[in-house]
Structure 1
Amino acid sequence: MAVAIAMNSVSLNWVPPSFTKKANYVTHSTELAPPSAFSSQNSLTYTKETISNEENNCKRRLLLLGVGAITANLLPANSLLAEEIPQNYRAFVDIPDGYSYYYPSDWREFDFRGHDSAFKDRFLQLQNVRVRFIPTDKQDIHELGPIEEVVYNLVNHVYAAPNQMVNILDMQERTSEGKNYYTFEYELTSPNYASASFATIAIGNGRYYTLVVGALERRWRRLRNKLKVVADSFKVLDI
């Protein structure tokens, strides 16, 4: 099914499709983007399954030439794009895979194995956000169980390694546009280092989504509020 998108003044990044690199996503920023060769009156229509090899090669060449940020305004039927992006953040919007979130504007995209998208601090690799999803037959996060039970099992049996001590600091539930989310804060302590993270989980589109954003524990007090914005911004889009 083709999707038509009107273009104006936010930034569009094309990345060639691969197992870890995303095609058909956009990033929006409060920063000014460089002038684009695309007119604000143009419109872009794409179908995920039918993008030709020639178009993919063209996008790859543009990216290599440094024309990764194209000035555009995308107006799909989602309220995120009508919101004002917080200062010093960008918005990552993956329309085909049905999710979006904010990330710090000075972070850079990178490949995080087994994840659909990821961004990290340019200097500190352990300061990062990543998103993954798996198929599910459940319709809502509440079907997984009460938040206390779900968070305990995830942190202790999924996120923590056998040699790590777990400390769950906080957990919250929110509802946005008819979808429910669990967000929780936790620490993992290893013999050599300690980290702290927020995670947000949600279910939609037949998928179980997980966003995790974290940093080293010694920097957590300074970064906590900044990273909480990322965790709270995660949204599941209808696809």
Structure 2
Amino acid sequence: MAVSSFSLGCIPATLPNKLTVMPLLGIFAASSSISSPSYHINDSSIQIPSAQENCFERRPLLMGIGALALSILPSSSLLAQEVLENYSAFVDKIDGYSYYYPSDWREFDFRAHDSAFKDRYLQLQNVRVSFIPTEKTDIHDLGPMEEVISNLARNIYAAPNQRATIYSMQERTIDGKNYYTFEYQLTSPNFARTAFATIAIANRRYYTLIVGANERRWKRVRNKLKVVADSFRVLDL
């Protein structure tokens, strides 16, 4: 999927290491279902060329920034086969990761997480990213995918009064880096929440992205949130 580029004479020479670009148009198409438990694709990491660092503050400052984002992101980073509107990009070149989120969501502070965005009306519909140090170099070092994901959902993500159900899991390889993405539900006596989680290891860090919603809204927003989960990339520091 090619993206035409153009020049803007007013663009400064550099862009910041942490960058929010909104809105981005035509980045991804939502997949209606997970076709298989594992697959491999090749794609380039989402990176901003170093010659254009510090063009914007973290909040967008210019009209037409969506068109600018399309011009500076390499076409190989666009994973969609079709066009889906209304997504924005968060790129953290300091901590080495990037992802897309719905452009009408708002940034907020989520305890112990490095970045987070939520629906402006439904706070439980959100995405957040965290990371911890690790001596491992790849998620394969954690063990078999099924064992790793089962342990995460049932022993790490679930509270003592919650039951974890794993619906699907998949492995992806993008630009030489491996990712596990899985769909799971946490159910307590009075509440249920469903989410996608994507994990990866790079830069001596264990990264986790979780995007989810109240179970009552899950069928309505599942495909939308799957785009977010699949967009997560770790960047070389």
Paired residue for 1:141? 139
- Which structure ranks higher in relative contact order (CA pairs < 8 Å, sequence separation ≥ 6)? 2
C-alpha distance 8-184 of structure 1, shift in aligned 2 (>3 A) = farther
Q: Which amino acid aligns with 2:112?
A: G
Paired residue for 2:196? 198
1:75 is displaced (CA, Å) by 4.2
Task: Name the larger-Rg structure.
Answer: 1
1:76 & 1:206 partners in 2: Cα distance?
A: 26
Give 1:75-114 correspondences, 5 Å limit: 75=72, 79-80=76-77, 86-114=84-112
1:78 & 1:117 partners in 2: Cα distance?
A: 25
1:176 & 1:44 partners in 2: Cα distance?
A: 24
1:189 & 1:223 partners in 2: Cα distance?
A: 18
Paired residue for 1:157? 155
* TM-score, normalised by the number of residues in structure 2: 0.73
Paired residue for 2:24? 30
1:225 correspondence with 2:219: no
C-alpha distance 171-81 of structure 1, shift in aligned 2 (>3 A) = closer
Comparing 76-85 with 140-149, which one deviates more in the overlay?
Answer: 76-85
Answer yes or no: is the 8 Å Cα contact 1:85–1:91 preserved in 2: no
Structure 2, unaligned stretches of length 5 or more?
1-6, 10-15, 26-50
C-alpha distance 121-88 of structure 1, shift in aligned 2 (>3 A) = same
Answer yes or no: is the 8 Å Cα contact 1:29–1:85 preserved in 2: no
1:69 correspondence with 2:64: no
1:85 & 1:181 partners in 2: Cα distance?
A: 24
Instruction: Give the number of aligned pairs.
Output: 193
2:90 & 2:217 partners in 1: Cα distance?
A: 24
Structure 1, unaligned stretches of length 5 or more?
1-6, 10-21, 32-42, 47-58
Q: Which amino acid aligns with 1:69?
A: L
**CA deviation profile, 1:41-98 (whole Å, cap 9, x unmatched):** xx7656xxxxxxxxxxxx7xxx9xxx74334558488953898984111111111111
1:178 is displaced (CA, Å) by 0.1
Give the one of 174, 177, 200 matched to 1:176: 174
2:198 & 2:96 partners in 1: Cα distance?
A: 15
C-alpha distance 161-233 of structure 1, shift in aligned 2 (>3 A) = same
C-alpha distance 85-96 of structure 1, shift in aligned 2 (>3 A) = farther
C-alpha distance 90-82 of structure 1, shift in aligned 2 (>3 A) = same
2:79 & 2:166 partners in 1: Cα distance?
A: 34
1:76 & 1:96 partners in 2: Cα distance?
A: 18
Identity among equivalent pairs (%): 62
* TM-score, normalised by the number of residues in structure 1: 0.72
Q: Which amino acid aligns with 2:149?
A: V
C-alpha distance 105-95 of structure 1, shift in aligned 2 (>3 A) = same
1:192 is displaced (CA, Å) by 1.7
1:222 & 1:45 partners in 2: Cα distance?
A: 38
